């Protein structure tokens, strides 16, 4: 059996969303749905197709952000990471239970003029709010 890596996704890679196929086509499987610790902010990043958020870790005034944890074979992990465009990348993300996994993070500069959507609690809630508006 191949060694695996757990990867937290908080936007367009979540189940049923436009980029989820980048995970499933590489044989990744959904492990859990959870949230981050209360140390993150989520921003709507303009200029991407499909639309997506960026998540950053903060020292204060953080929030819990909904996400999914996927498991992918180490042998496919590099192929997945090469698909991630700047200003997004992979770093370490703290989950609600205090464990750390690999996951999507965003370079802080990209959030300077971006809309803070943390109060929605996650990307799906933000998309639902947009659809209802």
Burial tier of 71 (Cβ tally within 10 Å: 0-12, 13-18, 19+):
middle
Which domains, and CATH codes, for the chain?
4-132 (3.10.490.10)
Whole-prediction pTM:
0.95
Residue 1 pLDDT > 70, yes or no?
no
- Per-residue model confidence as pLDDT tens digits over 24-72: 999 999 999 999 999 999 999 988 889 999 999 999 999 999 999 999 9
Q: What would the pLDDT profile of 59-105 be if each residue is shown by its tens digit?
A: 999 999 999 999 999 999 999 999 999 999 999 999 999 999 999 99
């Amino acid at each position: 059996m191949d060694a695996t890596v757990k990867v937290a996704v908080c936007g367009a890679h979540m189940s049923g969303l436009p980029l989820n196929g980048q995970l499933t086509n590489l044989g990744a499987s959904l492990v859990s749905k959870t949230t981050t610790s209360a140390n993150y902010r989520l921003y709507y990043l303009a200029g991407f197709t499909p639309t997506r958020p960026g998540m950053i870790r903060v020292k204060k005034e953080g929030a819990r952000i909904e996400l999914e944890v996927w498991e992918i074979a180490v042998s496919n992990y590099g192929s997945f990471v090469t698909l991630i465009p700047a200003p997004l990348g992979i770093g370490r993300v703290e989950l609600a239970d205090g464990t750390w996994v690999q996951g999507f993070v965003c370079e802080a500069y990209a959030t300077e003029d971006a809309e803070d959507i943390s109060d929605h609690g996650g990307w799906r809630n933000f998309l639902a709010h947009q659809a209802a508006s």
